[in-house]
Structure 1
Amino acid sequence: MSSTSSTVERAFAAALYADSDAALDTGASLLAADPASDAELARRGEEFVAAAWRRGWQPADVVRIVRRELDDVHERLAAELVLAEAARDRTARGPRWTAQLAELAEQAESNRSGRPDRLDRFQYATAALELYRLLLRLPTLEPLDAHASHASQTPRASEGSTVPRDTRMLTRIRALLAKAEATGFPEEAEALSAKAQELMARHSIDEALLAARTHAKDAPGACRIGVDPPYETAKAVLLDAVAGANRCRAVWNEALGFSTVVGFEPDLEAVELLHTSLLVQATAAMTKAEAAQRAGGRKRTKSFRQSFLAAYAHRIGDRLAEAAEGQVTATAGELLPVLAARDVAVTDETERMFPDTVTTRLRGVSDEAGWHEGAAAADRAQVNPRTRLQGP
């Protein structure tokens, strides 16, 4: 064993398997005193990242849990390790994995350009050991890689040939939702969101019919969406409602701060876009309602915000369920059996991945004003029923 490996091993033995600050200080002191150990320390960090991937974690999952449990410096270090390991990774990955890496690379570049004063050697070693403690203890997750090969590409007219998914439609949808969130004019937001909903519906229906007609081996995929504090339960309920309206299923992991959404790729894309947009609208509406409450002499309270978001999620769920039911009722021709088969496939895949689940109820909803304001905001939110499309 080389002297650098020996230093890292002794530091790990002292710090990684004990939770005390004294153990952490001992390990960090060993590393700080041996500059030659830096490369080995980084290499071992990349190994921890690779081990997390083997346990079902994806790049965004790793960085998200670090952000949730530790500090900014740990998040930056985790992103650097993820990108370094990705450069050596030779495993076939799906487009979601690639997109996560691209986003992390962009964020890392931004962090480098605006990074505060660099850490000294002891501070850096301490941060690395704290990060490695977390990575070492990550549990095993349901693997999503198996879904990537099915969901990443869809056969087109020429049997056996494949082309990348149509990203132009998704770009248009994202642009419409961004404008709907930014405008201060309700009528404009209504028109923009309605158009986005129409495009999402057509994109999903077209993909489903195309897969059926070409006998593509299309199968449900899955993705993880962060459910961040505060008020995680209300946010998870909102995500569940959005998922259900788009023929997907959502399973919330409260302890790790994310929901796994199972569905066919076009519907997963719709869930991600619509959920993000509704959260933005909910936050803006809650801020406005809270300002009005304070103007009337009421203090800002946690119970108001909790009740507001709970009511918002509840009411949005009702509206989305009505929209989804109306769309199914309006379908005809070859479309209805195609969607029915997909519903069965999504349910079966969800039960395979998560054979044991429990129902979570909203708790801590006690503010009447917050509930009424949240319900009213949900009624104003730009969630129109999908355009009623007929099968050809």
Structure 2
Amino acid sequence: MTSSEYPGEYSVYAHSQGVQQPPYVAPVPPKQKKGLGAGAAIALALATSLVGGAAAGYTAGTVASSDNSQQTTIGAGDTENALEAPVKSQKEPAPEGSVEHVASAVLPAVVSIELTDGSRVLSEGSGSIITADGKVLTNHHVVAEAGTGRAQLAVTLNDGAKHPATFIASDVNTDVAVIQIEGVKDLPVIQFGDSDNLAVGQSVVAVGSPLGLSATVTTGIVSALNRPVRAAQGGGESSLMDGIQTDAAINPGNSGGPLVDMNGHLIGMNSVIASLSQSSGEGGSIGLGFAIPSNFARRVAEQLINEGEARQPMMGVQVDIRQVTDGALISAVQPGSPADQAGLKEGDVVVRINDRPIESSDALVAATRSFDFGETVHLQVRSAGSDETRTVDVTLSSE
């Protein structure tokens, strides 16, 4: 599966045996004394600790150190039969910022989504509850068939309760959708974070239902930002996102689920995975997943709820999608558009928008959509037949 593909829908054994210890036999001293190298000394120390650990059960205790402080140590258990001893429990509340703490806070606001035609499952995905009365943020490609009236939606809450749901609206160009769970109230809702403040390398958690396995939690980092990713949506249409790249495991079924920071705030919606698979089937995670930034998804969701459709800021240019490197080639400028008013011409090549390099036409479109309506952006533009660049300020279309 290529980067144009996205998640949709997909032992352990142990034994023990008592071993009688052989009698101890003292080793014969070597004829010539030799020193141990560092590697051998480490191996010997490791072997000693393993042998010691196998000799008896151990429990944690404390001893006084030379400075009279308390230190944790390991001591032998005070029972002859570990099977008859009570189970030791040291369960403590998860510290804030831990994955366990994030999971416990986020899972109640994450749902599994199933799309059926009455006899079979058409697609499966995930979603985030964004209103207490049951509105859910998810991907267009998860629920698109419900929008045509040819399929039914069902949502499973984190507590296992299953409810019918209705389609509100979706946008194929951005792959954002909103649905409504029926017959619910006072649901827990996810909290939005600010995706504009993300940093490469920060820890994140992905939550969803990969391969139908609900309430699955995976961890990773923000691998990169501002990745222009185009995904086929069927019927010759495609979506384009200015994606957050993450190595958190995302698989078919994670689509529409949240990517959250270590405060449990939604900073992205998992939507696309890259795969090395060359077959027509869907592949699994190879550590290249992409999420729609939360600020963008939130804006589109509000439009879908309030207006039933989504609109994006625009310059008023057409770009040549065959130009895949070295900037975005402008193939046409709409008369009277912001681009026309700013002086952009057919044949100009945009190589930078604000401080962000533009390497392709998709990068320019994705970057433009990520700005606010009416915002002024600064373009570095190379004129046709010239290697020189000039600065052009464009005020994007307003709402």
* TM-score with structure 1 setting the length: 0.25
Instruction: Report the structure, 1 or 2, having the larger helix content.
Output: 1
* TM-score with structure 2 setting the length: 0.25
Computing the radius of gyration from Cα coordinates, the structure with the larger value is 2
